[in-house]
Amino acid sequence: MELDDGLGDDRPPPPLLPLDDRIWRHPSEIAPPPGTRRTVPDRVAGAGLWQVGLLAGSISALLTVGLVVVGGGFRVRTVTPGAAPAVERVVAPAAATPVTAPGSPANAIVDIAEHMRPAIVQIRVSGGEGPGSGSGVVFRSDGHVLTNHHVVDGARRITVVMANGEEESARLVGSDPDTDVAVVKVDKTDLASAPLGSAASLRVGQLAVAIGSPLGLSGGPSVSVGVISAVGREIDAGGEGPPLLDMIQTDAPIAPGSSGGALVDGAGAVIGVTTAIAVSEVGAEGLGFATPIDIARDVAEQIIASGRAVHVWLGVEGEDVDPGTAKEIGVAGGALIRDVRPDSPAGRAGIAARDVIIAVDGVPVRSMGALKVQLRSHRPGDEVTLALHRGNEARSLKVKLAERPPRP
């Protein structure tokens, strides 16, 4: 069979130079050493490089179309043959200083992965906006699994796929939109559970390992490695929900479907629950965000105890103090109060519009988000002392916090 290259040049090729006058040899002209057994068929060994390149390019294109089709919004549909679409929360990218992951002993990562993978599950949901998948962390051996609110929001059916491939029906114990935390339960005991650490003393640059079940793929959890890029991030949800506060930022790759998975430190303890990825008009930005495990664990324990999370209420609305005002009153930052509900704890304590709150129980707050984070550690009925500035006058007020009323 003859192949026509379409170039219109059908002249016979010129004869090859004698072997001794050439600096190259075709593989067919090189005889194997005596006694050598040829293991590759001649027609494969002599195939043109363009054929290999075309095949590789086709495979690459198929993989790209199959695995990297990401849409906007909080529920991302990933087109993957045979797999449920991923449910992922995406946010506008936050500014970050590029960092380079330090070299880590390979076997340390292997040990973390082997220890943690049995406690990481895939969560498949149906209902709401359709089928989807996310990840979860078994944090109690009695079958309680920690995940994201947006993964299970509106789900009529929840299935948990264990690391070994076993599938278990699950029920929703409860969820909290404010922190994007949810708990589901499978009727199974003696499960491998993940050790929970703390994000309180995280340092930028330390090792971070993300473990989840991306893209709804079978075969068990996936592991990626990076560093802690920043802490205390406030992420604007773009009108799709409340802002995400005090988030951990990492450059460890977090693919769609990994929401609800674990962010683990170098000691092999969970320090966060992977929650969001940054996506802009040009695509994924390589930034992932995790809810600190301290917050997630507290909310999860409340949900298990009562079916819901309770949040304290101060009764103010405001914003970060601007640099000019901060300089005028001699503070590094604070929460500028714009409005006070008359029937709220703040209203009863005498807090007024234009006050700048700079500390809670002696702990400085540099922004409105920092004020909310400080109040999260309290319960309804707790009394706190707020340091504030009213004009150029420093004041101190005691406020008895209440439970936040239902949202309208």
Active-site choice (180, 251, 265, 294): 180
Catalytic residue among 133, 135, 258, 259: 259
Contact 250, 263 (CB under 8 A): yes
Distance CA 266, CA 275 (A): 20
Clarify whether 311 is annotated catalytic. no
Phi, psi of 297 (to 5 degrees): -65, -45
Q: Cα 82 to the chain's mean position, in Å? A: 23
Which is it for strands 89-91 and 270-280: parallel, antiparallel or unpaired?
Answer: parallel
| Closest CA relative to residue 257, chosen from 354, 346, 125, 127 | 125
Length, in residues, of the chain: 408
Catalytic one of 133, 135, 144, 150: 150
User: b vs e for 77-88, b when ≥16 Cβ sit within 10 Å of the residue's Cβ?
Assistant: bbebeebbbbbb
Distance of CA 21 to the CA centre of its chain: 62
198 is catalytic: no
Q: State the DSSP code for 149.
A: H
**Ordered DSSP codes for 355-378:** -EEEEETTEE--SHHHHHHHHHT-
User: To the nearest 5 percent, what fractions of the chain are helix, strand and coil?
Assistant: 20, 35, 45
Residue 295: how many CA atoms within 13 Å on its side-chain side?
Answer: 28
Annotation says 144 is catalytic: no
**Token match 């090859």: residue?**
16
Give me the active site residues, please: 150, 180, 259
